[in-house]
Amino acid sequence: MEIAEKNKIKTIKEVKRADLLGIFENRSLLLNIPDFFDENTCSSLTKKIHNNMILGFYENAPKIGRIGKAFYETIASKKTQNEYFESSQQWIFELRRCCFPLISPIDSLRVYLDDIWPYGSTLASVNGKKIFVGLARYFTSEASAEPHQDIIQRDAPDTDISKIVKRQIAANVYLNVPNQGGELEIWNWAASDEEFKNLKDKRPDFSYAFDRNLIRSSDVKLKPSIGSLVLFNSNNVHAVTPSSDDRLSISCFIGYCGQNKPLLLWS
């Protein structure tokens, strides 16, 4: 069912449980919460992160920088997964230490979700090992993310998380945004596995993405503001337009496992 125009973007001062459910159930495309962090704090955190943390790049999107590692990148082998779990807690502590005496954006979000959701939130785990949460994503000048989906059942099938998560939200806290570009695009379309297979980009560096030439234009385009928290259902196709200069966000996924279950967090 198509989402009504008035519910595509919802800008609010604070998130309530009903707002979260609206995104999980795809009754709204996007929640925009401006001033989740103040601009001076974001500027300070941006400098601290750039000066103190090691930048890497996505294996399937080499133009997009990231600090930490996404869980889906680790499922290729036991070796990479073991290395990931050996580092996951260290990455969380490093981000926390880097931000001190300011609070880490991901810690702030975790507390925020605990207050909203009756059963709280917890880090997702695999075989008793907790997953990293709090990936910093860095887009340099002209970098972009092509239209894609983030679905745990597709990205990390047959894992503990994929078996219990029913719906999935992407959460981004924006510490720095470019003067031009860097907009978040969302399609009112949760593509099926078959649609992804048929419409997939054939270029090696964009194997994660849809071919823009084969799909319609996006339904929503939002230019995030510094300090904003943006939430959207990551089953819907989404993208990031090219940036004129640097764009930095702290991100994670929020998994819904049922009304009487804690929310699961991972990156």
- What are the pLDDT tens digits along the chain (267 aa)? 455 554 688 999 999 999 999 999 999 999 999 999 989 899 998 888 877 766 566 665 556 667 778 888 888 788 888 888 888 888 888 888 888 888 899 999 999 999 999 999 999 998 888 999 998 888 877 778 999 999 999 999 988 999 999 999 999 999 999 989 999 999 999 999 999 999 999 988 888 999 999 999 999 999 999 999 999 999 999 999 998 888 889 999 999 999 899 999 999
Main-chain phi, psi angles of 173, to 5 degrees: -105, 120
Write down the pLDDT at residue 165: 97
Q: Which two tokens stand for residue 218?
A: 């996006």
Residue 130, token pair as written in the block: 């907790």
* DSSP character string of 114-183: HHHSTT-EEE-EETTEEPP--EEEEE-TT--EEEE---HHHHSTTSHHHHH--EEEEEEEEEE--SSB--
66: which DSSP letter?
E
Residue 133: closest CA among 11, 263, 2: 263
Domain ranges of the chain: 5-266
User: What was the pLDDT predicted at 184?
Assistant: 96
Q: DSSP letter at 26?
A: T
* The CATH homologous superfamily of the domain defined by 5-266: q2cbj1_9rhob like domain (2.60.120.620)
Tell me how far apart the alpha carbons of residues 137 and 237 are, in angstroms, rounded to a whole number: 18
Q: Which residues contact 60 (CB under 8 A, 6 or more apart)?
A: 73, 205, 207, 208
pTM, rounded to two decimals: 0.91
CA–CA distance, 187 with 220 (Å, rounded to integer): 7
Residue the block writes with tokens 């983030």: 150
